[in-house]
Chains A and B, each alone.
Chain A
Amino acid sequence: MNKKKKIVAIIDDDPDVVEALEDKLKDCNYETLAAYNGKDGLEFMQKNHPDFLILDIIMPKMDGLVVLQKMRESDWGKNVPVMILTNVSENEKLAKALEIGVDDYKIKADVKLTDIVESVKKILGDSN
């Protein structure tokens, strides 16, 4: 089972969120890439195409929605599963994200870390 680890990219301006997610995902055998703003995130994703993206919406420099938009316009990113993980429950932003195309969205405060990881696994077909 020397399979190459799947890369889960995490873009969130809160380092604590990133750290928690990284720790948990690494435990589950995922490689993680982290960025603390949209701009950096988009840049490193262009170099290291991730298998999954956990994306926050409100971020400095570049909004999560813009990241999503640009990613979906690119060849490498148009089919990458994306989970929106945010504390923003403003309907129009979520609606916009859903419109562009995301695979899941979760409100940070309302979910457990394990639920997030389960969801990632499920989407990537790594359950069990």
Chain B
Amino acid sequence: MKISFKTKLIIFLEIFLIVSNALLGIFVWRELSYMVREISRNRLMAVASSAAAVIDAEQHEKILTGDDEDNDDYAEVQSVLVKVMEANKDVFDMYTMRKTEEEDIYAYVVGANETKDENDDGIIEQWEERVEVGEEEDMSIFPEIRNAYDVASADRKIACDIWGCFLSGYAPLKNEAGDAVALVGADIWADDIIDFEKKAKIVIALIMGFLTIVLPLALYLFLHLILRPVSVIIKGLEKFRHDLSGRLEINSKDEFGLIASTFNRMASELQSLYRGLEEKVREKTKQLADKIEEIKKEKAKDEALLASIGEGMIATDEKGKVIVINQQTEKILKISATDSIGKHITRLSSLEDEKEKPISSEEQPLSKALSLASRIAFSGYCTRKDGTKLPIFLVCSPVVLNKKIIGTITLFRDISREKEIDKAKSEFVSLASHQLKSPLSNIGWYTEMLLAEDAGKLKKQQKKYLEKVARANHKMVELVNSFLNISRIEMGTFIVEPEIINMKDMASEVLDEFKATIVNKKITVTQNFDSSWNFSADAKLMRIIFQNLLSNAIKYTPLGGKISLDFIEQENEVKIKVSDTGYGIPENQQKDIFTKLFRADNIKEKEAEGSGLGLYIVKSIVEVSGGKIMFESKENRGTTFEIVYPKTGMKEKKGIKKLNL
């Protein structure tokens, strides 16, 4: 059971009050006799003193010395005593005493209730006889009497004598010099004191009883009254804990009222603050919910996006452990996402190169992407866990965040279909070129025989026409070869097989092929070859490059023009430059010169021949074999083509087909 503070306080104070009251009662009870006697003594002393103040010491002296012959003095002193006694009803006897020569022996002088023994009527009551003037009495048991000469004093104890038990008080009677010559005593009956004590005890018991009952009650009421606002405050606070609109209903103008109004003001502020806060929280909660919804949507979108990627996607951490794969990956590799996540990417399947040889761990696209921090493309085969194999193409990119690689993304696809198409295409091209070339070669050969006059002498006109047939046929063969080459370039199937070749020989051979035209057009050809003429290149490809660049230069340089062929060796690279003083390429068309079938407007009219495939082929060859091609051209001033290869030469490339010349 919970006891409230108020109850505790009341119980404590009540107990304290009752106990203290009881203790006080016991104390007063116990000390009452003493107190009553003390009070009585003080009264007796006061009574004695008041009498002593009035009595004339000299007159009193006379009584004992016998100078009071007619007892006037005695009567006078006695009347004083009687008067004083009458004024104090409980005092039953008063008297004066005087010291004798002997210690502790005192002589009576005047008694209020006695007559002087030498009174005239001679009748002395029996009890009166006992006390006469000068009668001496041993007062050794009353030390107070001894003190009484010096100061007003009183007996502590009740004394008893033949007349009964009494309590005495004394006061010195002083002469004019201030010396105590006698003392005045006043007695009261002990029975009176005891009676008084009894009465007092009853009164005290009554008072204490009354207090014991009334005080706690009063205290309770008082505390209840005082503590009521505390209860109200506590209840109010309790209510406020659950309901911020709760207020303290105290309208008094005391401190509690002040507390209540202060609290109420504070509560109002808190409530409005809380309301504002609630509003904000609601708002934030809504924002948060919206955000979550947005994120969910975003996530769903991402998932849909990943799912809809036609390619397989594998994301890994920076160590190659799979973080996420998409559905396509599951489908292509025949694995499940749950089994794959957390595993190293190489455990999902194993990769083989184009020749179906397993690749080393350093050659893994992922390892390369991580170590080189660049995108790695890989084409080869992938063996699934079930042992089946499929051709794939993949690109593995490092994921960089704050300049740090945090993982990789691998996109890959099954290229079985492409491979099939490639094969079909390549077969088609090969067949088509074969089929096209067969009749062309026949045309060529029979024209050749006719022109050689194997079938008889030709007329001039006939010869001229046959030459045109031969030229057209040659052009046709070149076109077929070009198309074939382009198809090989585009399929990426051509081979680059570098070997050491002599560039000067190569250039001379090619120039020889064009000798007739060069001479015809009176073109000056200069060759500038730096130091070594040897260079590591695929002879066939280099020939194609030379053929195309030189044939263009010759074709598009007007009569009497100049062509120069330079081979410049530098620290790390070599440059092959073919310059002419030809028609040049119009500036607005320069950007298109490497595109397929491009022919500049300015030369279309001048030169009917030209397939528009040469530069496209050259650029493809140069780039695939690790070189760069640039050019500079000014219309009617000339063109310079510059091919740059690393000094190490052409880059080797495996493939299926050689290009045709």
Contact = CB atoms under 8 A, between A and B. Distances in A.
Given A14-B438, A14-B442, A27-B454, A113 B658 contact: no
Interface in B399-448: 430, 433-434, 437-438, 440-442, 444-446, 448
A20 B454 CA distance: 11
Contacts of A112: 444-445, 448
A107 B484 CA distance: 14
A110 B481 contact: yes
B449 A87 contact: no
Interface residues of B, number: 25
Contact of A108 (B441, B446, B452, B657): B441
A2 interface: no
Interface in B335-379: none
Interface string B42-80: 000000000000000000000000000000000000000
B448 A58 contact: no
Nearest to A56: B438
B480 A88 contact: no
A90 B428 CA distance: 12
Interface string A13-35: 01011001001100100000000
Nearest to A108: B441
Nearest to B477: A109
Q: Which of A14, A58, A109, A113 has the most CB of B within 10 A?
A: A109
B434 A88 contact: yes
B442 A89 contact: no
A14 B442 CA distance: 9
A89 B657 contact: yes
A79 to B, nearest CB: 28
B434 A58 contact: yes
B477 A90 contact: no
Contacts of B440: 109
A34 to B, nearest CB: 15
B438 A89 contact: no
Nearest to B484: A89
Contacts of A108: 437-438, 441
A128 B408 CA distance: 69
B494 to A, nearest CB: 9
B419 to A, nearest CB: 16
- Of residues A16, A58, A89, which shows the largest number of chain B Cβ atoms within 10 Å of its Cβ? A89
Most buried by A among B438, B452, B658: B438
B433 A87 contact: yes
A113 B449 contact: yes
A126 interface: no
B441 A87 contact: yes
B462 interface: no
Given A14-B442, A20-B449, A87 B437 contact: yes
Given A92-B656, A107-B660, A114-B448, A16 B442 contact: yes
A91 interface: yes
Interface size class, chain A: 20 to 34
Contacts of B495: 91
Contacts of A16: 442, 446
Contact of B660 (A14, A89, A113): A89
A17 B433 contact: no
Which of B437, B440, B656, B657 counts the most chain A CB atoms within 10 A? B437
Contacts of B477: 109-110
B660 A20 contact: no
Interface in B487-511: 495
B455 to A, nearest CB: 9
A17 B442 CA distance: 6
B448 A89 contact: no
Nearest to A58: B434
Interface string B642-656: 000000000000001
Contacts of A27: 454
Contacts of B657: 89-91
A23 B449 contact: yes
A16 B449 CA distance: 13
A20 B445 contact: yes
Contacts of B454: 23-24, 27
* Most central of B430, B434, B446 by chain A CB within 10 Å: B434
B26 interface: no
B661 interface: yes
Given A16-B442, A110-B477, A113-B445, A91 B433 contact: no
A90 B440 CA distance: 18
Interface in B581-602: none
Nearest to B470: A112
A24 B448 CA distance: 11
A66 to B, nearest CB: 18
Interface in A1-50: 14, 16-17, 20, 23-24, 27
Given A87-B434, A88-B434, A91-B658, A17 B449 contact: no
Pick the most buried of B444, B445, B454, B657: most chain A CB atoms within 10 A of its CB.
B445
B88 to A, nearest CB: 161
Contacts of A90: 430, 657
A20 B656 contact: no
A48 B49 CA distance: 191
A91 B656 contact: yes
Contact of B444 (A14, A88, A109): A109
Contact of A110 (B446, B656, B660): B660
A110 B477 CA distance: 7
A101 to B, nearest CB: 20
Interface string A88-128: 11111000000000000001111011100000000000000
Contacts of A92: 656
A20 B434 CA distance: 18
A17 B440 CA distance: 11
Contacts of A113: 445, 448-449
19 contacts: A16-B442, A16-B446, A17-B445, A20-B442, A20-B446, A58-B434, A87-B437, A88-B434, A90-B657, A92-B656, A107-B437, A107-B660, A109-B438, A110-B477, A110-B660, A112-B444, A112-B445, A112-B448, A113-B448
Interface of B: 430, 433-434, 437-438, 440-442, 444-446, 448-449, 452, 454, 477, 480-481, 484, 495, 656-658, 660-661
Given A20-B449, A24-B454, A112-B444, 4 more contacts: A14-B442, A91-B657, A108-B441, A109-B437
> What 8 A-B pairs are tightest by C-beta distance, nearest first?
A108-B441, A87-B437, A109-B437, A109-B441, A109-B477, A20-B445, A87-B434, A113-B445
